[in-house]
Structure 1
Amino acid sequence: MSNDKKVLKIHNKSDKPDNIVLRDNEIVEKCIAVENKLPKFMKDYFIYLKGSVAVSSRLAYLDDIHFFCTYLVETKDLTDALDTKDITIDEFNNIKARDVNLFLGDYCSRYYKHTDKNTLIFENNNRALARKKSSLSTLFKFLFRNEQLDNNITDGFNPIKLPKPQPDAIKRLEIDEVAKMLESVETGEGLTDKEKVYWRKTKLRDKAILALFVTYGLRLNELRELNISSFNFSRGEFMIYRKRGKEVLMPINHTCEIVVKDYIFNERCQSEMLSEDNKDALFLSLQNKRLTSKAIRELVKKYTSISMETSRGNGYSPHKLRATAATSLIQTGFSIYDVQNLLDHDNVTTTQLYAAHKKNVKRDIVNNFEWIEDDDE
């Protein structure tokens, strides 16, 4: 029996490494699969998304719209279609703002999926509802601008109030906990006997990963996608591939250069012994494949739980190390604008949340700046 599945070959003439091109292609393939389930009258909107948002955002928008169309088919109130791709533009033109508000406020907040064995309950918080609202708003606004709908109904969408982020709720490691975390990966202290078996084979890798996280506040995928070729040690810099396709050159400090080189030259499998897909990958698993997101999360959770003296389940995620980097930099004296630039925050108000942790600075200043001496001294 012949195998019709074709092998994907990369003909890459861009500046991006093959793994980034492959990652984006996988997301694009998912986008196309969702588009094929949606009505043909949305084709112009698909083209608009393709040119205006990152591929990950494009997929999120399409998933939300497909979820809404599935709701229309299942409820049968607004369409006669039996399949999402058969919904007509005339039926969409009859949708009112009230219909979308009912979908978001009544259906989406809690809905059920029935399987052969179970009934699953799904709940969305306000942040998830706001994202779905945003996805539908872009669709309805575009169809109106594209003269496919008679009215712009988005002005009638109910507001969704999001909880204001509280600085005190930001979870991060204290400076002494960071030191303890790095010491545990150096010595193996706090690991179980079973964990030490793997630690002896990966401690240089783990140390490099943790050092990069707490120094640069990298996002998980930014770290996972790093390659050997990302680093130019002679120039003292490395390349990060960020959200929305941004490429950023980052200077490498002395500590991170030492730990990354130590891992590459003394622990990592030699590239000529690796498969073509993994030759350039920086961080490898014991199976000599690019480390997965799940494995990185578990690694971080393990070492942060040791530093905080808590259970493995209560360890922190890589995003908490991003928060750790932000607060540590601000406490060291760097401006919020410097930290915003380093961490790639879209809005400085996000960075200001981490600056709020300096709430005791005013007290420290005035307590150590006395004009009048105490008579008792």
Structure 2
Amino acid sequence: MAKKKMDPPSNFKDHRSAGFDSLNGHTDNKNKKLKIHNKSDTPDNIVLKQNEMIRKCLSLESQLPRFMSDYFMFLKNAVALSTRLAYLSDVLFFCNYLVNELQFSGAQSPVDIDATAFYKLTAKDINLFLADYCTRYIVETENADYIMENHNRSLARKRSSLSVLFKFFYRDQLMEKNISEGLNPIKLPKPQPDAIKRLEVEEVQKMINAVETGEGLTEKELQYWEKTKLRDKAMLVLFTTYGLRVSEIQQLNLSSFNYARGEFKIYRKRAKEVNMPLNHSALSVINEYIKLERLTTSDLDDPLFVSLQGTRMTVRSIRELVKKYTSIAMQTSRDKGYSPHKLRATAASSLIQYGFSIYDVQNLLDHDNVTTTQLYAAHKKNAKRDVINNYEILDEFNDVKKNK
């Protein structure tokens, strides 16, 4: 039976600034305009995105117990900004559970949790939270109650977040035992190459054809298509050529491109700057879009991909665009279309299928581990047949005899 939860988890809340903005150096005021004093090479839109994530982190920290302040500083310096945000969200979720479900230490909210009581938590307490509560619970909001289910991948992330927290307290000698060592393992399904969702090469061709001709679009979609087909084509070509992440596409600016050098700059996870070479396909679709279709934007920065409202496209609108055209390519309903990440998988599989080295593809897609890239290698069609047909052992023996 689902457990009830008094307050929604942090990801259901409207994150506000906790007060001090570390990038601006002033206390937030709704009447003040946010300005950027940027002396780095990082584009303003990337700085703004990082600032928004920092504001969310500060908001989460303001809701957590004060005795965790050293842990907050540790996360700030030890992990990527996105990881910091995820860890803080998970820790707040756990603290809400302690307060609302267990009435822990008599606290009325997570910020009131007693440090001494928290340091006495055991591995059994964490295992109970993960195995019993997290698997299914109810979030109550004004408009509806949501049944929330977490499967093993989500549980493993929560376990990892709490493990880092309690290891930190043990390292700082605030807890007598490293209770993270007693956390129950969470088995994750081994990735199966055949289960990886991606488009076949023929389906990529159908997708590009759909965006060029409008074939498969509804009457309403055709009205927008006339104004955005070159933009949409440019995005899909970049997705399937480079295997870019949706955030990397969304953050592209006109100034990201250096045509003299034949390259463009992207910003990857952990704020890595990477220069990507421009090939003829990418260059032609981008130039065609910029010259014939791109709207003048009201944004202070210079976004490459602009909405019909003249603003930078959102991640959500790009996702919807990809879903629409991939569903046409696969001849399925719109809700069954693929996400941008599936186009990343498509690029990896296609590159390997065309004979490029796994290590070159790993470098292009920014995979931390080559085993991730190897999953896509299994998609190479007729791989076994190609190997066997190109290795005729009797022919090899006959060649040896002739040479003697």
Q: Does 1:283 align with 2:305?
A: yes
Alignment CA distance shift 1:27-1:329 (3 Å): same
**1:151 equivalent in structure 2:** 177
Give distance in 2, aligned partners of 1:293 and 1:144. 39
Give distance in 2, aligned partners of 1:260 and 1:115. 44
Match of 2:315 among 293, 296, 303: 293
In structure 2, stretches of 5+ residues that fail to align are 1-28, 396-404
Q: Does 1:29 align with 2:55?
A: yes
Mean Cα displacement is larger for which, 144-153 or 60-69?
144-153
Give distance in 1, aligned partners of 2:151 and 2:246. 24
Aligned pairs for 1:275-354 (under 5 A) are 275-277=298-300, 279-354=301-376
Give distance in 1, aligned partners of 2:105 and 2:325. 53
Aligned pairs for 1:127-142 (under 5 A) are 127-142=153-168
Give distance in 2, aligned partners of 1:364 and 1:92. 60
Does the CA-based 8 Å contact 2:104-2:113 persist in structure 1? Answer: no
Q: Does 1:74 align with 2:100?
A: yes
Post-superposition offset of 1:34: 0.5
Mean Cα displacement is larger for which, 113-122 or 299-308?
113-122
RMSD between aligned residues: 1.6
**CA displacement, residues 10-41 of structure 1 (integer Å, 9 cap, x when unaligned):** 00111100000000000100000010000111
Helix, strand or coil for the counterpart of 1:14? coil
Letter in 2 for 1:110: R
Give distance in 2, aligned partners of 1:199 and 1:336. 37
Does the CA-based 8 Å contact 2:207-2:329 persist in structure 1? Answer: yes
Post-superposition offset of 1:77: 5.4
**2:132 equivalent in structure 1:** 106
Does the CA-based 8 Å contact 2:211-2:233 persist in structure 1? Answer: yes
**1:14 equivalent in structure 2:** 40
Match of 2:268 among 224, 234, 242: 242
Aligned pairs for 1:222-241 (under 5 A) are 222-241=248-267
Post-superposition offset of 1:359: 6.0
Post-superposition offset of 1:115: 4.4
Post-superposition offset of 1:178: 0.8
Does the CA-based 8 Å contact 1:217-1:324 persist in structure 2? Answer: yes
Letter in 2 for 1:107: Y
Does the CA-based 8 Å contact 1:228-1:281 persist in structure 2? Answer: yes
Letter in 2 for 1:99: D
Post-superposition offset of 1:143: 1.1
Identity of aligned residues (%): 63
TM-score of the superposed pair, with normalisation by structure 1? 0.94
Mean Cα displacement is larger for which, 179-188 or 135-144?
179-188
Give distance in 2, aligned partners of 1:369 and 1:143. 59
Alignment CA distance shift 1:369-1:115 (3 Å): closer
Letter in 2 for 1:181: M
Post-superposition offset of 1:64: 0.2
Helix, strand or coil for the counterpart of 1:238? strand
Does the CA-based 8 Å contact 2:64-2:92 persist in structure 1? Answer: yes
Post-superposition offset of 1:343: 0.4
**CA displacement, residues 126-166 of structure 1 (integer Å, 9 cap, x when unaligned):** 00000001100111111111122222111111000000010
Match of 1:95 among 121, 140, 150: 121
Letter in 1 for 2:208: L
TM-score of the superposed pair, with normalisation by structure 2? 0.88
Letter in 2 for 1:171: K
Give distance in 1, aligned partners of 2:70 and 2:157. 21
Alignment CA distance shift 1:12-1:91 (3 Å): same
Match of 2:71 among 31, 38, 45: 45
Q: Does 1:178 align with 2:201?
A: no
Give distance in 2, aligned partners of 1:51 and 1:142. 13
Post-superposition offset of 1:201: 0.5
Post-superposition offset of 1:358: 2.3
Post-superposition offset of 1:92: 1.0
Letter in 1 for 2:70: D
**2:109 equivalent in structure 1:** 83
Does the CA-based 8 Å contact 2:138-2:146 persist in structure 1? Answer: yes
Post-superposition offset of 1:120: 2.4
In structure 1, stretches of 5+ residues that fail to align are none
Post-superposition offset of 1:78: 3.8
Does the CA-based 8 Å contact 1:78-1:95 persist in structure 2? Answer: no
Mean Cα displacement is larger for which, 331-340 or 144-153?
144-153
Give distance in 1, aligned partners of 2:144 and 2:368. 42
**2:235 equivalent in structure 1:** 209
Helix, strand or coil for the counterpart of 2:288? helix
